[in-house]
């Protein structure tokens, strides 16, 4: 079935299923914008509708759409210009709060009023924030990270009981995000309401809520959690409004015995542009650092990756890579990805030779690559303009190039996922992660793409 037909069919089913009031308020004016990469892009008339559809009604709509379309799909709701104009003609866009509240959908419309009031429904969260690759059993433990690992396990086993907040800090690529997500995955599995959010996404969410006057929803979203994992907190340094809101969120959660886990690139006392009260709150639980992994740990990590990816790399090669890579495990993974591709494509001899070349490229003094360097190189290789990659265009060739650029940005630069996203026309960290994973998957089987990516990568590493 064509995607737009599937949307139309789902739309009519939803009209029956959601009930008149809900459908009219949130979905009636939604329009099909496009379909790319198994994602439906749907235009809606304002930020309220977008929030409601993307968060609260998302699972329901996705289920219907997946059934109709016959394949797992995702949906991206976007505020759409033409829709806004349309809505402005028919009604005032600034819905008063009481009306908004009156229109909050409840899962079961027949539920008696006293029950609805007594037990507010907590909103559905976006499902894609946790990555199921980041698990405790994929985290190699040794003396450099044992303390922080055990603490994370304890937090996951007994949220809000042992260490609250739990504050993890350490340098780039040492596994902070992995640990936060592992706590999140473990808690989610046991039915806790979990949200993982990079601090920049928290900021964006807040700005969005203020702009669209949905701060009540914002608070409900964050304060209704059992476990909040906030990554790279250093990025809200100097942002007073965000810090203020975060302070209140933090207190609301911790005071009600909900777990907060924070990751940072430095110790709380070194968060110089933070309010004192926030810094001292961070130190009210356990502060644990994560140290660079030793050689044996790096080897063990490489062995884990090789077995997962099913590539047989000779032991001595693993050893050489581990020995010569920097402590940053992100770099290690960049090198590993390249070498794995080489071994998959070529014979043992050439691969050995190429591994050597890869390693020296990584280690010869090179400029620090930024996301823009990567975008430039990928645009050239795909015969596109840099602006195409940074635009919202979704033609499949542009999309593929964009995902390759995201993948390489992750491998070759120090930028965080939200930072990468912002260079690509303000995309979310989840979109970036999705793009990276997609390319990583395709590289396993697509030799043409592999060769192409490899070439761009070499160029970037060699370029002066």
Q: What does the binding site for ligand ADP look like in residue numbers (CB under 6 A)?
A: 138-140, 145, 170, 172-178, 293, 301, 329-330, 333
Place of tokens 């592999």: 450
Q: Closer to ligand ADP at the Cβ: 245 or 411?
A: 411
Supply 14's token pair.
């939803």
Supply 261's token pair.
């886990």
Minimum CB separation from ligand ADP for residue 330, in Å? Answer: 5
Asked if 341 and 353 touch (Cβ cutoff 8 Å), the reply is no
Asked if 403 and 446 touch (Cβ cutoff 8 Å), the reply is no
Q: Determine the residue with CB nearest ligand ADP.
A: 175
Q: Is 33 helix (H, G, I), strand (E, B) or coil?
A: strand
Minimum CB separation from ligand ADP for residue 141, in Å? Answer: 7
Minimum CB separation from ligand ADP for residue 259, in Å? Answer: 19
Minimum CB separation from Mg ion for residue 177, in Å? Answer: 3
Partner interacting with residue 84 (select from ligand ADP, Mg ion, none; CB below 5-8 Å by kind): none
Partner interacting with residue 333 (select from ligand ADP, Mg ion, none; CB below 5-8 Å by kind): ligand ADP
Partner interacting with residue 188 (select from Mg ion, ligand ADP, none; CB below 5-8 Å by kind): none
Supply 59's token pair.
């699972």
Q: Closer to Mg ion at the Cβ: 233 or 401?
A: 233
Partner interacting with residue 267 (select from ligand ADP, Mg ion, none; CB below 5-8 Å by kind): none
Q: Is 128 helix (H, G, I), strand (E, B) or coil?
A: helix
Q: Determine the residue with CB nearest Mg ion.
A: 177
**Cα–chain-centroid distance for residue 445?**
25
Minimum CB separation from ligand ADP for residue 290, in Å? Answer: 7
Minimum CB separation from ligand ADP for residue 456, in Å? Answer: 21
Minimum CB separation from Mg ion for residue 101, in Å? Answer: 37
Q: How many residues does the chain have?
A: 464
Residues making contact with Mg ion (CB under 5 A): 176-177
Minimum CB separation from Mg ion for residue 330, in Å? Answer: 9
- CA dist., res. 455 & res. 446, Å (int): 14
- CA dist., res. 389 & res. 70, Å (int): 30
b/e string for 150-185 if b means 16 or more Cβ within 10 A?
ebbbbbbeebbebbbbbbbbbeebbbbbbbbbbbbb
CA distances from 58 to 71, 211, 222, 288, 396 (A): 16, 22, 18, 37, 25
DSSP secondary structure, 181-201, as one string? HHHHHHHHHTT--EEEEEHHH
Q: Closer to ligand ADP at the Cβ: 175 or 285?
A: 175
Partner interacting with residue 153 (select from Mg ion, ligand ADP, none; CB below 5-8 Å by kind): none
Q: Closer to ligand ADP at the Cβ: 65 or 228?
A: 228
Partner interacting with residue 184 (select from ligand ADP, Mg ion, none; CB below 5-8 Å by kind): none
Q: Closer to ligand ADP at the Cβ: 398 or 417?
A: 417
Asked if 391 and 424 touch (Cβ cutoff 8 Å), the reply is no
Q: Closer to Mg ion at the Cβ: 33 or 130?
A: 130
- CA dist., res. 415 & res. 407, Å (int): 12
Q: Closer to ligand ADP at the Cβ: 34 or 292?
A: 292
Q: Name which of 32, 38, 36 is nearest 71 in CA terms.
A: 38
Q: Closer to ligand ADP at the Cβ: 123 or 173?
A: 173
């Amino acid at each position: 079935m064509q995607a737009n037909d599937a949307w139309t069919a789902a739309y009519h089913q939803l009209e029956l299923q959601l009930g008149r009031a809900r459908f009219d308020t949130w979905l009636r004016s939604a329009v099909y914008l496009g379909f790319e990469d198994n994602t439906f892009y749907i235009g809606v008339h304002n930020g309220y509708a977008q929030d409601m559809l993307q968060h609260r009604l998302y699972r329901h709509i996705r289920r219907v759409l997946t059934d109709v379309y016959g394949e797992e799909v995702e949906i991206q709701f976007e505020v759409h210009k033409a829709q806004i104009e349309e809505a402005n003609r028919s009604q005032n866009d600034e819905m008063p709060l009481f009306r908004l509240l009156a229109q909050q959908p409840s899962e079961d419309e027949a539920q008696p009023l006293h029950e609805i009031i007594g037990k507010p429904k907590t909103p559905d969260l976006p499902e894609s924030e946790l990555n199921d690759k980041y698990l405790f059993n994929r985290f190699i433990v040794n003396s450099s990270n044992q303390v922080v690992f055990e603490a994370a396990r304890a937090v996951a086993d007994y949220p809000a009981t042992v260490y609250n907040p739990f504050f993890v800090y350490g340098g780039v690529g040492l596994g902070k995000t992995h640990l936060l997500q592992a706590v999140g995955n473990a808690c989610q599995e046991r039915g806790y309401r979990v949200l993982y959010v990079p601090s920049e996404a928290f900021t964006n969410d807040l700005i969005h809520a203020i702009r669209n006057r949905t701060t009540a929803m914002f608070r409900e979203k964050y304060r209704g959690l059992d476990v909040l994992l906030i990554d790279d907190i250093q990025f809200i340094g100097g942002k007073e409004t965000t810090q203020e809101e975060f302070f209140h969120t933090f207190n609301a959660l911790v005071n009600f015995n909900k777990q907060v886990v924070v990751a940072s690139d430095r110790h709380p006392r070194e968060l110089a542009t933070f309010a004192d009260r926030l810094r001292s709150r961070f130190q009210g639980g356990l502060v644990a650092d994560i140290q660079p992994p030793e050689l044996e740990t790096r080897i063990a990590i490489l062995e884990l990756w090789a077995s997962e990816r099913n590539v047989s790399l000779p032991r001595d090669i693993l050893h050489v890579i581990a020995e010569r890579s920097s402590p940053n495990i992100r770099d290690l993974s960049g090198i590993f990805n390249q070498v794995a591709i080489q071994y998959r494509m070529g014979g043992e001899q050439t691969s050995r030779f190429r591994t050597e070349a890869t390693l020296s490229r990584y280690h010869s003094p090179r400029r620090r690559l930024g996301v823009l360097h990567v975008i430039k190189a990928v645009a050239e290789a795909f015969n596109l303009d840099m602006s195409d990659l940074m635009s919202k265009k979704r033609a499949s060739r542009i999309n593929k190039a964009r995902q390759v650029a995201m993948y390489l940005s992750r491998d070759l630069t120090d930028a965080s996922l939200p930072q990468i996203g912002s260079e690509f026309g303000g995309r979310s960290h989840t979109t970036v992660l999705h793009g990276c994973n997609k390319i990583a998957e395709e590289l396993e089987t697509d030799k043409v793409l592999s060769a192409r990516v490899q070439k761009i990568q070499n160029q970037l590493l060699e370029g002066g």
